[in-house]
Each structure stands twice: as C-alpha cells, then as structure tokens.
C-alpha cells in the first residue's frame, strides 16, 4: 500500500463536489471517510479516495509540491492548492472540497481555466522592446543588467503559477467574468515594473478601462488566498496609482535596464548588497 506514510491520527470525513456532465443535471456531494495521517495533504487524501474508494473522482494535478498550480480548489470555503493544504492543520472533522468558483466545471473538481488565460494573454505578459530585433537576434552581443533592487520590484509578481485561486476568491470576478481579474492585472504590473520592458504604455492603455484595474474594489481576497505570496491586490493598487499620477503629469520616468557586452565580468553587484535572510518553516 503506497499511501501508508504515517500513523493514522484521526478519522476525517471528506465532502467532495461531484458533477459528471454526461449524467448529472446538477452537482451533488459525495462523502468519503479516511484515516488522516500526519503530513497528509488534501491531494494525498483525494488520491487515496480515488485509489481505494471511488475511481470516478476527477481533478487536475501534476507536481504535487506547490509549483505547477494545477490542483487549486476550494477547501473549506477557501481557494487553496490541495497539495499545500495539510488535512490535520485544517483542524476539522469534515472537509468540504469544491472546484474553483467563477470557472465552469468540466467534471468534479476540474475547472475550465480558459477565461483566466484569455485575460492573462490580453495584458501582453512578455517583454516588449521598441527594437523588436533585439529579441530575435541570432547571436546576441549584449545583455541586460539588473540590480537586485530592480529585480525585487517585480520578482514577487513573477512567482504567479496561474492556479486561478485569486480569481476564484475575487468578489468582482464572481459577478463579472469580463473583469480582467487579479491574476492578469498583477502580471500587467509585473511587466510594467520590469526595467527591461518598454511596453508599459501599451499595457497601461490596456488596463486603464472599466473592466481593467478600475473594476477592482480592493477586497484583497486575491492576496489572502494566493499560495505563492504574489499579492495581486498590491499590484492593482499600484497600477491605479501610476494611472492617477500619469493623469496629473506627476509620474516619474521609468528606469530602463542598462545594456552591457555579453559575458562582461560581474563586478557590478553592489558591495553593500546583503542577500535576504530566509526563515525556513519548522515542521511541527
């Protein structure tokens, strides 16, 4: 038995959202009881259910370690990655698992994320250069230089794994599918604040509309549920700030990345730069 990872601690009941497009008109909930062991994630539990109790249960998963963003689902009312949610930490005897909200359900816990990616591609989530040849050069001779501070201006937002948890939590996305959503707007800001990018005017024009950043009412649920600490709510407010500053002519000129010959020595790391301290979460 592949799943006996630890000693059983207690029995947990799982209420799982079920919908089969070929059979069901409306969704219903199936219940399964499992022995939860220390270290069991909700994803482990689903796999155990599928292996031992109900092979018809479907969901999406790949990496099972919080990197791919496939297994986001609503667990006890909060969108989260199933692989990162510990069954025992939820500290309840009944765990309700539902698919992400605001997305059509293909089957059981599998949402159709097309709307997410439609909005994502709409904000042009890639480096834009005025001189397009720079990006297609066969044998580049120059590279961009970015200081650690310049990196930190967007690093956080580039951690997005497109799992859709933020969109599922956002009250505005819940009532307006045409709202670009926290994910796309955070990515717009990620590229706008990248010093290598020159497409900020295009992107500001895209997000400056009633379905763009102005539809955000700052409920901050996106930030609350984001499993990667991306903080989309902050990114959207900075988009608004930039647009307001631009409209009154107070926006500072954007800093551009310097270019240097390829392979030049890396003596450019500032001496005073201190790498950030990492705290590693202690296992309990």
Partner 1 sequence: MEKKKRYYPNFPGVPGWIYGGNLNFERVLFLLHRITGLALIFYLFAHIIVVGFRAYSPEMWEMVMGRISGHSNPVILFFEWLLVLAVIFHMFNGMRLIFLELGFFIGKPSRPVYPYRTSIDRQRIFTWIMMILASIFVIWSIFAFFMGGGNHA
Q: How far is the CB of 176 from partner 1 (least distance, A)?
A: 9
Q: Which C-beta is closer to partner 1: that of 48 or that of 150?
A: 150
Tell me the window of 31-39, 41-49, 104-112, 204-212 that interacts with partner 1 (CB under 8 A).
104-112
Shortest distance (Å) from residue 17 CB to partner 1: 9
- Asked whether position 86 contacts partner 1 by CB under 8 A, the answer is no
Nearer to partner 1 among residue 3 and residue 66 (C-beta):
66
Is residue 77 a contact residue for partner 1 (CB under 8 A)? yes
Tell me if 254 contacts partner 1 by CB under 8 A. Answer: no
Two tokens, residue 63: 């990496």
Q: Biggest alpha carbon distance in the chain?
A: 66
Q: Give DSSP secondary structure letters for the chain.
A: -TT--S-EEEEEEEEEEE--TTT-SS-EEEEEEEEEETT-BHHHHHHHHHHHT-TT-----SSSSSSS---EEEETTEEEEGGG-BHHHH--SEEEEEPPTTS-EEETTEE--HHHHHHHHHT--S---SSTHHHH-SS--EEEE--HHHHHHHHGGGG-----HHHHH-HHHHH-TTS-HHHHHHHHHHHHT-TT---HHHHHHHHSSTTTGGG-----HHHHH-TT---HHHHHHHHHHHHHHHHTT-PPPPP--EEEETT---TTS-TT--PPP--PPPP-
CA–CA distance from 175 to each of 74, 101, 178 (Å)? 17, 11, 9
- Give the Cα separation of 72 and 81 in Å (integer): 4
Residue 210 touching partner 1 (CB under 8 A): no
Instruction: State how far the Cα of 113 lies from the Cα of 108, in Å rounded to an integer.
Output: 14
Select 37 or 227, whichever has its Cβ closest to partner 1. Answer: 227
- Footprint (CB under 8 A) of partner 1, residues 8-37: 19, 21-24, 26-27
Residue closer to partner 1 by CB (options 37, 189) is 189
Q: Is 277 in the site for partner 1 (CB under 8 A)?
A: yes
221 binds partner 1 (CB under 8 A): yes
Asked if 147 touches partner 1 (CB under 8 A), the answer is no
| Among the listed residues 169, 185, 192, 206, the single contact to partner 1 using CB under 8 A | 169
Residue that is written with structure tokens 């996305």 in the block: 173
Residue from 252, 266, 281, 282 in contact with partner 1 (CB under 8 A): 281
- Name the residue nearer to partner 1 (CB basis): 52 or 112: 112
Contact letters for partner 1, residues 120-139 (x by CB under 8 A): --------------------
Give the interface segment with partner 1, choosing from 1-9, 122-130, 204-212, 274-282 (CB under 8 A): 274-282
Residues at the site binding partner 1, with contacts judged by CB under 8 A: 19, 21-24, 26-27, 74, 76-79, 99-106, 111-112, 152-157, 159, 169, 171, 174-175, 177, 193, 216-221, 223-226, 228-231, 233-235, 237-238, 240-241, 244, 276-281
């Amino acid at each position: 038995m592949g799943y006996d990872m630890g000693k059983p601690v207690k029995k947990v009941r799982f209420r799982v959202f079920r919908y089969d497009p070929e059979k069901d008109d409306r969704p219903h909930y199936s219940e399964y009881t499992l022995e939860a062991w220390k270290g069991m994630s909700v994803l482990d539990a689903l796999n155990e259910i599928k292996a031992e109790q109900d092979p018809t249960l479907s969901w999406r998963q790949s990496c099972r370690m919080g990197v791919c963003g496939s297994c986001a689902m609503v667990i006890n009312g909060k969108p989260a990655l199933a692989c990162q949610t510990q069954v025992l930490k939820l500290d309840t005897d009944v765990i309700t698992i539902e698919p992400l909200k605001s997305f059509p359900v293909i089957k059981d816990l599998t949402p159709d994320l097309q709307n997410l990616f439609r909005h994502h591609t709409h904000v042009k989530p890639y480096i834009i250069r005025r001189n397009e040849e720079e990006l297609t050069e066969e044998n580049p001779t120059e590279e961009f230089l970015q200081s650690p501070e310049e990196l930190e201006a967007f690093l956080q937002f580039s951690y997005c794994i497109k799992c859709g948890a933020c969109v599922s939590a956002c009250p505005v996305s819940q009532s307006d599918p045409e709202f670009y959503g926290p994910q796309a707007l955070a990515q717009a800001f990620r590229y706008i604040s990248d010093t290598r990018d020159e497409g900020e005017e295009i992107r500001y024009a895209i997000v400056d509309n009633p379905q763009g950043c102005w539809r955000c009412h700052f409920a901050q649920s996106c930030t609350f549920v984001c499993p990667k600490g991306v903080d989309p709510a902050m990114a959207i407010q900075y988009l608004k700030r930039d647009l307001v500053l631009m409209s009154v002519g107070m926006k500072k000129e954007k800093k551009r990345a310097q270019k240097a010959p390829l392979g030049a020595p890396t003596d450019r790391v500032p001496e005073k730069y201190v790498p950030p301290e990492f705290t590693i979460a202690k296992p309990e």
